[in-house]
Amino acid sequence: MAAEGARAAEHAAAAAMLLLFETPGGFGLFKVLKGGETREASDLAKDFESPEKAQKLLKLKAFSKFEDTTDALASAAALVDSKLSKGLKKLLKKHVGDDDTLGVFDAKLGGVIKEKLGINCVYSQSVLELLRGVRSMLGELADNLSAKDLHPMALGLSHSLSRYKLKFSPEKVDTMIIQAIGLLDELDKELNTYAMRVREWYGWHFPEMGKIITDNIEYAKTVQFMSTRERAAELDFSGILTEEAEASLKEASIVSMGTEISVQDVDHVKALAEQVISLSEYRAQLYDYLKSRMAAIAPNLTVLVGELVGARLISHAGSLLNLAKQPASTVQILGAEKALFRALKTKHETPKYGLIYHASLIGQSAPKLKGKISRVLAAKCSLSIRVDALGESTDASLGIESRAKVEARLRQLEGKGITAISGGAAAKGALAANGGAAPNGGAAPAYNADADVTVTPKDRKRKADDGAEEKSAKKAKKDKKEKKEKKEKKAKKDKK
């Protein structure tokens, strides 16, 4: 008995409580000295008032440094998911005995360690207070770690972990889309203003040219190439205009009613025309850039509504993630907020669509179906946006599938869809097998017109009279009730 008691005492002395502490530089194992494991959480704060007191309670047993940033990121990502990394597993196997108890900062992680390594783990308020004390006195308890060294490590690791968790990629930056669509809209306004100015200015010299050439860019190129109308007959416009337009232009230049202008005037008009041409070329480049950005960032949304509408939706919401948080009903009327609040204020019908109205699927639908199609399209857009913003796939399979469903719904509403046969697939099969005849082998039952319920003029008149009597009775009853209420109110007033 005495021998067994001595062994038990040795066993208790050999067993120790250890604390697992994670830092940006690696994992640390701290041994809790005698008496520390039994202290209450409220009393532990006094033991970390000074480095001397902290060193009497805790002692660094082992420290495992991260090899590089990749190792640190892998270990931190594993801890976030309550998983056991390779480095931590190796440290615990080497320095934690079978009889030791390990204090951990995460109950789930403790369960994983116990399951895989068979180490008894403790997660309690006392353990959390001890770990809090270690954090406050880390520089004094671990000589090779100081706050000066840990700060850049923590900053680098936090950036790496954020990129890892958010799956950060420069290809997914939606800010570029917001800026590009904003610039594209501004360019369209400027181009329109400049082109109208060129037409108005040059129209004094050659007014007939405005009706012959309707395209603004072709008009600007013609002005830059031709200078004055007198040169039209001797120039070749095949690289700018069609043969018919060229012939009409040359004929009109001979009999034009325009005024004569000086060389200086022509130079200024040509300079403005050059601005129009250069802006239009840059707009084409910007549009191609926007298409490539949208295909990379929101492929499913692009398939459904197109690059321009998709980019405007993202811009209006502020970001792709903000747009993903919106329900389908909000996506449907995004861009029509003024009309919505005006309708709510005046108690009129609310708008059925906003920016989504410019999508090709809504454009090709009949006016009476635009509201229904916009609702269906908004629901599919909402799903596609969430996949684009939060999903990991980069293909547009969901967008293609959703577009097919919206098109099928449009055909169905327009009456082009296949109508269902009553009785489902079995009835269809039976009809097909019988060549369209009834399944029982007999002829299909004919419509019996005699069985229709008809209303004679007398019956209709009688119903109308009954309805009039019923209305007059209701009105008399209502008047009687109102008179009674007035009388009661008057009686109460007289009493007062």
Statement: residue 186 has pLDDT above 90: yes
What pLDDT is attached to residue 98?
A: 76
For residues 307 and 116, what is the distance between their CA atoms, to the nearest angstrom? Answer: 51
The residues near 173 (Cβ < 8 Å, ≥ 6 apart) are 297
What's the Cα-to-Cα distance from 159 to each of 73, 150, 163, 291, rounded to whole Å?
A: 10, 14, 6, 30
Band of residue 30 on the pLDDT scale cut at 50, 70, 90? confident
**Most confident option among 10-14, 91-95, 179-183:** 179-183
The mean pLDDT of 39-44, rounded to a whole number, is 63
What pLDDT is attached to residue 433?
A: 47
Strand partners, 31: 18, 59
pLDDT tens for each residue of 293-304: 999 999 999 999
pLDDT tens for each residue of 337-367: 899 999 999 989 989 889 999 999 999 999 9
pLDDT tens for each residue of 221-254: 999 999 888 888 888 888 899 999 999 999 998 8
What pLDDT is attached to residue 466?
A: 60
Statement: residue 8 has pLDDT above 70: no
pLDDT tens for each residue of 203-218: 999 999 999 999 999 9
Q: Between 142 and 464, name the one with better pLDDT.
A: 142
The mean pLDDT of 187-215, rounded to a whole number, is 93
According to DSSP, residue 36 is labeled S
Q: Between 463 and 221, name the one with better pLDDT.
A: 221
Band of residue 199 on the pLDDT scale cut at 50, 70, 90? very high
The mean pLDDT of 76-102, rounded to a whole number, is 81
Here the contacts of 390-396 (C-beta below 8 Å, separation 24 or greater) are: 390/321, 390/324, 392/167, 394/296, 394/299, 395/299, 396/299, 396/300, 396/302, 396/303
Statement: residue 419 has pLDDT above 80: no
Q: Choose among 100, 70, 239, 98: nearest CA to 161.
A: 70
pLDDT tens for each residue of 433-443: 444 444 444 44
What's the Cα-to-Cα distance from 376 to each of 212, 354, 386, rounded to whole Å?
A: 43, 14, 16
What pLDDT is attached to residue 408?
A: 93
386-388-393 Cα angle (round to 5): 120
Band of residue 22 on the pLDDT scale cut at 50, 70, 90? confident
Q: Between 489 and 353, name the one with better pLDDT.
A: 353
Please say whether the beta carbons of 213 and 248 come within 8 A.
no
What pLDDT is attached to residue 74?
A: 81
> Which region among 251-260, 299-308, 473-482 has the lowest average model confidence (pLDDT)?
473-482
* CA 89 to chain CA mean position, Å: 40
Q: Between 126 and 145, name the one with better pLDDT.
A: 126
What pLDDT is attached to residue 10?
A: 41
Band of residue 148 on the pLDDT scale cut at 50, 70, 90? low
Please say whether the beta carbons of 343 and 351 come within 8 A.
yes
Statement: residue 382 has pLDDT above 50: yes
Helix (H) or strand (E) holding 31: strand 26-32
> Which region among 4-13, 282-291, 295-304, 390-399 has the lowest average model confidence (pLDDT)?
4-13
What pLDDT is attached to residue 36?
A: 55
> Mean pLDDT for the chain?
80
